[in-house]
Amino acid sequence: MNFVPEDVDQFTQELCKNWLMKIVSVRELVPRIYLETAFLKCYRFLKLPPEEGLISSIDRLTLAIRGIANPLAAAYARVYLVYKTHQGKACDGFSGVMF
């Protein structure tokens, strides 16, 4: 869908923020990483500059993946994060370190 955040009404933006905050409150590391990664496209609904919204979320997820003890699970989580960022074309202007 082609839209800009200005096309989204205030109620939808608040709903999106609410769900993103619920996901962040998940205490288990691995499920939270996968949930946040799956919902990366939802940042399109918010009127945030990329460095505050999507890019900072990708940076935070990259650092959180380092906390996964199992090397195979950590590698899969990294691959999934890369896949979702490229799928959502979120990597434009991304200068963070992935590993």
Residue 98 · residue 78 · CB < 8 Å: yes
pTM of the predicted protein model:
0.77
- Sign, CA torsion 66/72/73/79: positive
pLDDT in tens, the chain (99 residues): 566 767 778 888 888 888 888 988 999 999 999 999 998 888 777 777 666 777 888 998 999 999 999 999 999 999 999 999 888 665 555 445 444
Calculate helix-pair angle for 54-65, 71-87, nearest 10 degrees.
170
Q: Per-domain residue ranges for the chain?
A: 5-87
